[in-house]
Structures are given as structure tokens and as C-alpha cells.
Structure 1
């Protein structure tokens, strides 16, 4: 069989399902490659992670199978594919000395309606693999788990990471609520390239948990980022409280804007129809979040301008009367 693979998303990050499908079909003796127009394939696998990604023009084929959260949240790889060692050769430049995978699936944060994980992978964090399923001595391990620390077998899995001796990147994030002395002691034995946390809900007071991590001394030598959700259920005051609190402890706050892609394009420019889709109040709230995100995007800006109200682009926007697109005036 001649199998063609189509990655609808950015090629700056390897597509794990396609790597597993490639490994599965190569084990069966099939010919596997990225699909090219002008050629015929017995089967095409089209993977789309993000809903905003577009399908490219497809070559002729006998069968098409689409999958990924960009299409729906119910499709899954068969077990014999899900648990196969990935074909890292599909993305040689991106996977050199780096392993990618999930040790767990699911997340208990059911109240986080902005996140697809509970609906897609379940509202319980469960162990789904041992490290050896996708790691074979690579120098780096990039973990995509959404809530590894919520898993009952977390200590077992963290010990596997310690024993690997590899550099670990918790790309999917860690739940600061589960931090304790036992977990922090394992982190100290681990080679971690970067930590990622989140403070999504302003109604949760997580200061003490972040201070616990801060007092353990991890921030001094590593990049420790915290995603701060905006434009969902928080006010500007609540956004700034989280940003200032995290910054003062040495964390790097990353402002995430809910539904950003519905307001602006990839360059941050308003979509032509936003004035007909949203009220002026909603557009102004989004614009404030956009200024917040740009203000936090560079460490040197935060240091040079520690107070958001003094951030020049935001201050100029206020002085101009907080302009946003309207039905009468169009884009501004």
C-alpha cells in the first residue's frame, strides 16, 4: 500500500499521530511519505490539530482518513497505533535527539470550559504509557501531558523521568496545585530545561503554591513560565494581580487570550467582520488583553515598564478614546 500523510498545521512542530501512523504502516511493509499533489496514494491520512488550520489541496487517493482535534474531539488512533514507537524520521530536523509523547491523558479541571482536554481525553488524568514507549535514549524529552501531576501514578512516572537522565521539557504544563515536598525533591534530581504552569482561574488563590516552588530555588537557573488566561472570566484587575504576583516572584507570565483567533488574524489585525460579531465592549476588552499580551511578551519590556498603565501603546490607545472597529466606521 502507498500511504500519504498530510499535516495541516505548522511544520514547526512534529505531528505525533502522523509519526505513529508512519511507524505502523512501515512495520507492515507499506510505502509511507508526506503526500504530494500529482501522485496517487492508496490511502491518505489528514491530521489537523487546530480548528483554524486549512486543508491543503489533496492528491488523488483511494481512501481518505481525517483525524485530530481540528476536526472533532471523538476520533482516536487505534490502540495498536497509539502505543507504537513513533517514526521520528518523519521530522528529522525537529526530532534530532528529542523524544515526544504523552505519559498521561486527561485532566480533572471540568470547570475549564476553554480547554478541550476533559472532553477529548477524559476528566481524570490517567497513565497511558511508560516512558520507554516513545523514548529510547534521546538527550531531550518533550512531554505533552495536560496534567501529569494529577495522575495517581505521578511518582512512578516522575521517577522514570529522573532515571532517564535526559533533559525534560514539560511542554503541556504542570498543575501547581499538586506540588509538594516529595514532588519537588524529584524535580531537584531531574534535568529540567523549562517548567510551564498555569494560573487560569482568578478565583483560585495559588500564591502559596507558587511561593513553594519559588522557595525551592528552581527559578534561579531555569525558565519558569506561567500561562495566564484572559478574555474569559477575569477583569483587568484580576489579570494584573496574577501577572504582578508571578513577575515579582521571578516567573515569566505568558498572557493567553481566549478565542483570540476569532478577533484577529495571525498578524494581530482585526478580522473584517468583528464589528458585526461582537459588541464594542467585547472588542475593547479583547484589545486590552492584546496590549497585556504584547506588554508581557518581552522580559525587557516588563523590566523597563513595570506598570501596565505606563505601557506606551496601551496609554496611546486610551488617549485616542479606545478605538475599535464599529459597524459604522469599519476597521480602525
Structure 2
């Protein structure tokens, strides 16, 4: 069969499902390539991870399969494809001496409605593979797991990472709430590239857990990024509490704005119809989050101005009356 692959995303990141699909079909003797216009394929596979990604113009085909969370949250690969060793030759520059994969799927954080993981992969973190399924001696391993530490077999999986002697990147981050001395001891033996965590829920005080990680000395706290969710369920006061607490502990807080792409374009400029979709209060709340993101997004700025209230762009915006796009009334309506 002649198989065509379509990667709809343009995020400079290899598409793992397409690599598995390619490996499966090549093992069956099929011809596999990235689809090109002007060609005809017996079977076409289109994959996208992000909903905003646009499907490109497609070549001719006899049948097509579309998959990935960018299409819906229910599609999955057949078992034989899912457990195929990825065809890293599809992305030689992006996968040079690097392995990509999932050891676990799912996350128990049911209240995190901003995340697709519970709906897509379930509310239980479960083991889905051993490391050898997608790693064969590469010097670098990028794990895509959503919450590996919540898996009951986490220690077995961490030992596999220890034994690999590879540099490991936890691309999905780690759950600071689940850290304990046993896990920290295992992490000490792993060559972790960067640690990053998240403090999403303002109703949880995670100060002691972050202090536990800092005191373990696995990395300098100032080199550890912590994502802080805003514009979802928190007030400005709750956002600043998390940011200031993390800064006092020596971590690097990074503000993540929920649904940011629905308010502004890639350059941070208001979308033309934003005033028709959101109230003035919602727009002002978003603008505050945007100022916070810019304020603590660069270490030199937050160090020179540790008090958000004194951040010059935010202070000027406040003095101008907090301007945001407003609906234009026509004929007094």
C-alpha cells in the first residue's frame, strides 16, 4: 500500500502517532511518506494535536483516517500501532539521539476542567508502556506523561529511567503534591534536564511541597519554572499570592493565561471582535493577567521590580482608567 502522512501542526515538535503509524506500515512492507499534493494514496493519515491547527489541502486518496486531540478526544490508535516502536526517521532533525514517548496515561485531577487529560486519557494515571518500547539507547528521553508520579507503578518506571543513564525531560511536568522522600531519592539518580511544576489551584497551598523540593537540592530553585494558571478560577490577589510565595522560595513563576488565544493574537494585540464576546470586567481581568505575565515572565524585570503594583506598564494602564475594547453603540443602542 502507498501510505501518506499529514502533520497538521507546525510547532517544531515530532508527531508521535504518525511515527508509530509509519513504523507499523513499514513493518508490513508498505511505502510510507509525508503526503504531497499531486500524488495519490491508498490510505491517508491526518493528525493534529492542537484544535487551532488547520488541516492543509490534501492530495488524492482512497481512504482517510483523522486522529489526534485536535480533531476529538475519543480517537485512539489500534493496539498494534500504539505499541509500535516510533519511526524516528520521519523527523531526523527533531529526534536526533532523542526518544519520545509515554510511560503512563491519565491524571487524577478531575477538577482541572482547563485540561483535556481527564476526558481524553481518564482520571487514573496508569502504566501503558515500558521504556524499551520507545527508547533504544538514545542519549536523551522526552517523556510526554501527564502525571507519572500519580501512577501506582511510578517507582518501577523511575528505576527504568535511572538505569537508562540518559538525560530525561519530563515534558508534561511533575506533580509537586506527590513528591516524597522515596521519589526524591529516585530523582536524584536521574539526569533530569529541567524540572518544572504547576500551581494551578489557588485553593491549595503548596508552599510546603515546594519547600520540600527546594530543600532536596536536586536543582537550583532559581532554575526551576512553576506555571501559575490565571484567568480561570482565581482572583488577582490569589494569583499574586502564588507568584510572591514562589519567588520567596526562589522559584521562577510563569503566568499561564487560560484561553489567551481567544482574547489576543500571537503578538498580544486584542482580537477585533473581543468586545462582542466578553464583558468589560472579563477584558480587564484578562489585561491584568497579561500584565502579570509580562512582569514575571522575564527574570530581570521581576528582580528589579518585585512589587507588581509598581510595575510601570501596569501602573500607567491603571492611571489611564484601565482601558479595554468597548462595544460601539449604534443609534443609542
Q: In the alignment, what sits opposite 1:286?
A: 286
Deviation at 1:37, TM superposition (A): 1.3
SS in 2 for 1:208: helix
Alignment partners' CA distance in 1, 2:41 and 2:311:
54
Decide whether the 8 Å contact of 2:221 with 2:249 is kept in 1: no
Write out per-residue CA displacement over residues 231-253 of structure 1, whole angstroms, 9 at most, x where no aligned residue. 00001111111111112222221
In structure 2, distance between residues paired with 1:208 and 1:159: 26
Q: CA deviation at 1:128?
A: 0.4
Q: Unpaired runs of 5+ in structure 1?
A: none
Instruction: Indicate the SS of the match to 2:224.
Output: strand
Q: How far does the alpha carbon of each residue in 1:205-236 deviate from its partner, in whole angstroms, 9 at most, with x for none?
A: 11111000001112328832111100000011
Indicate the larger mover: 78-87 or 316-325: 316-325
CA-to-aligned-CA distance 1:123-154 (integer Å, 9 cap, x gap)? 00000000001111111111110000000000
Aligned partner of residue 193 in structure 2, secondary structure: strand
Equivalent-residue separation in structure 2 for 1:34 and 1:305 (angstroms): 49
SS of the residue corresponding to residue 238 of structure 1 reads helix
Q: Which residue of 1 aligns with 2:8?
A: 8
Equivalences, count: 330
Equivalence for 1:167: 167
Paired residue secondary structure (2:195): strand
What displacement does 1:56 show? 1.1
* Contact persistence 1:40–1:60 (CA under 8 A): yes
> Does 1:191 pair with 2:191?
yes
Match of 1:109 in 2: 109
**Is 2:6–2:47's contact at 8 Å kept on the other side of the alignment?**
yes
8 Å CA contact 1:107, 1:150 repeated in 2: yes
- Given that 2:222 and 2:251 are in contact with CA atoms closer than 8 Å, whether structure 1 keeps it comes out as no
Matches within 5 A, 1:1-332: 1-220=1-220, 223-328=223-328
How has the CA–CA distance of structure 1 residues 221 and 307 changed in structure 2, closer, same or farther, with 3 Å as cutoff?
A: closer
SS at match of 2:192: strand
Asked whether the 8 Å contact 1:3–1:30 carries over to 2, the reply is: yes
**What per-residue deviation string (whole Å, max 9, x for no partner) do you get for residues 178-223 of structure 1?**
1000110111111111112111000001111100000111232883
TM-score normalised according to structure 2 size: 0.96
Q: TM-score, normalised by structure 1?
A: 0.96
The separation in 2 between residues aligned to 1:45 and 1:132, in whole angstroms, is: 26
Across the aligned residues of Structure 1 and Structure 2, the Cα RMSD in angstroms comes to 1.4
Q: Could you tell me how far 1:294 is from its partner in structure 2?
A: 1.5
Give yes or no for contact 1:219–1:251 (8 Å, CA) kept in 2.
no
Q: Is the 8 A contact 1:140 1:167 kept in 2?
A: yes
> 2: distance between equivalents of 1:39 and 1:53?
23
The superposition leaves residues 48-70 of structure 1 with CA deviations (integer Å, 9 ceiling, x where unpaired) of 11111111111111111111111
Describe the shift of the 1:244–1:166 C-alpha distance in structure 2 as closer, same or farther (beyond 3 A). same
